Structure 1
Amino acid sequence: MKIEIWSEIMCPFCYIGKRNFEKALAQFLHRDLVEVEWKSFQLDPTMPEATKYQDDMYMFVADRKGLSYEQSKKRHQDLIEYAKTVGLQFNLDKTLVTNSMKGHRIIQFAKIKGFGEKAEEILFNAYFTKGNNLNDQKTLVELGQEIGLTEGEINTALTDPIYMQKVEHEGQEAQTLGAKGVPFFVINSKYAIAGAQQPNDILQTLENSFFEWRKENPQATVEVIQGKNCSIDGECH
């Protein structure tokens, strides 16, 4: 059973949604039959690398949304408290607002190596908890190496246009499926979960989806009559 998850590494509810999904998956009895693919969805491709009020998330959002500074800070304090309920520490006082494309390019390369989920986790943590600048070359190399990539692979991810194209393609794919935002989960190309829903709700959708998937993909069973044989460990009896 395949689950595709579109996310933006600078979206707080994507990180919260990741934790809720992990909790649901841990309770799902058939999790060993689940294939998860993380996909890119860049919310604002026009975001500059060095934004106005880059080092003040509260002022950045206030300016963008037409809020007062106090209103913006209250919203973010509520978000910090909500993140704590799923075990996340958001240090938004340290967050550096920037364009997310370079991070997504690294994710795309990491997926090829089988490190997609690890890349998401490390970049989420870098942005929301550590306050790393995700457009700083030295920082990106360090984070990429933490993911498991070499410096050469990181440089390839950041310079080869194919990885930008992959990011853009996945974003377009999500919109074609009806995504209005992220996180956006699609199960077996049939069921979608929009937003950071609660673990129990995600688990219920997983169970319903698996029931249908199993009907369409029945488990092969055969009756075995045992005789003398040689096993794969080299034993003959």
Structure 2
Amino acid sequence: MKIEIWSDVICPFCYIGKRNFEAALEQFEHKEHIEVVWKSFLLDPSISELSSETYHEYLTKRKNMPLDQVNGMLANVTEMAKQSGLDYHLDQSIVVNSQKAHQLIQFAKSKNIGDKAEELLFLAFFTKGKNIADTESLIHIGLELGLNEIELNSIFDDQKYSYEVNQDIQEAKNIGVSGVPFFLFDRKYAISGAQPSQVFLETLNTTFTKWSASNPKASIQVIDGNSCSVEDGCK
């Protein structure tokens, strides 16, 4: 059963949502039947790749929010992250355009390590204060993922991965996604926001029950004869 997750790696609630979803998945009885697909989303495409603003500066200047309100909001988000086992340092997070980071994710998805790429990019942005628009930093993350350095040097100029990012964004618009994180379960149920793990678990159970009814296991009738097996040898 497929679960699609629209996310932006500069979104503090997306990392929290990821962790809460993972906690639910660990408790889910049929997790081996779940396929997770990460989808790209840009919260603010107007941000420059050369920006050097922290989260505090970004929200006060670009969103025209009072400093006291920003401080209180980010303190609350940091505490929420802590409750999910995450260590946020938002005073060090550099708010930059995440297009290139999403191109790295798309490349990682082609190697079946999209989830791991999301994790390392979230960690780089929210905990380590890395510039995730900087090509050198992204290549370093790619190498941590075990990706090929020669290929990594070309993906940020490759229109293929830029196109895939834009396709995800357009798909989000088509189904009415206006904010992230957004979790779509088997294209039937959706969860918006960093909900508690119990909400994810309940939705997993509900969706999987219906999915299982539509996708029954194949029943094969076997006529036994002489054969060899790993456990019993030949008989």
User: Which category of TM-score, normalised to the shorter sequence, fits these structures?
Assistant: over 0.9
Query: In the alignment, what sits opposite 1:60?
Result: 58
Once the two structures are TM-superposed, the CA of residue 62 in structure 1 deviates from its matched residue by 1.0
202-211 or 145-154, larger mean C-alpha shift: 145-154
CA contact (8 A) 1:7 1:39 kept: yes
Once the two structures are TM-superposed, the CA of residue 137 in structure 1 deviates from its matched residue by 2.2
Query: In the alignment, what sits opposite 2:146?
Result: 148
Secondary structure of the 1:196 match is coil
Query: What TM-score, normalized to structure 1?
Result: 0.94
Matched, 1:8 2:12: no
Secondary structure of the 1:130 match is coil
CA contact (8 A) 1:4 1:187 kept: yes
* Aligned residue identity for 1:144: G
Query: In the alignment, what sits opposite 1:33?
Result: 33
Question: How many residues end up aligned between the 2 structures?
Answer: 235
* Aligned residue identity for 2:23: K
Gaps of 5+ in 2: none
**Equivalents in 1 of 2:158, 2:84: separation in Å?**
36
Query: In the alignment, what sits opposite 1:236?
Result: 234
Query: What TM-score, normalized to structure 2?
Result: 0.95
80-89 or 144-153, larger mean C-alpha shift: 144-153
Secondary structure of the 2:37 match is strand
Instruction: Output the aligned Cα RMSD.
Output: 1.6
101-110 or 144-153, larger mean C-alpha shift: 144-153
* Aligned residue identity for 1:93: D
Query: In the alignment, what sits opposite 1:185?
Result: 183
Once the two structures are TM-superposed, the CA of residue 115 in structure 1 deviates from its matched residue by 0.9
Query: In the alignment, what sits opposite 1:111?
Result: 109
Query: In the alignment, what sits opposite 2:93?
Result: 95
Secondary structure of the 1:5 match is strand
Query: In the alignment, what sits opposite 1:165?
Result: 163
**Equivalents in 1 of 2:223, 2:196: separation in Å?**
47
Matched, 1:208 2:206: yes
**Equivalents in 2 of 1:28, 1:159: separation in Å?**
40
Secondary structure of the 1:107 match is helix
Secondary structure of the 1:4 match is strand
Once the two structures are TM-superposed, the CA of residue 78 in structure 1 deviates from its matched residue by 1.2
**Equivalents in 2 of 1:161, 1:8: separation in Å?**
20
Once the two structures are TM-superposed, the CA of residue 68 in structure 1 deviates from its matched residue by 1.8
* Aligned residue identity for 2:132: L
* Aligned residue identity for 1:158: F
CA contact (8 A) 1:59 1:72 kept: no
CA contact (8 A) 1:115 1:148 kept: no
**Equivalents in 1 of 2:15, 2:5: separation in Å?**
12
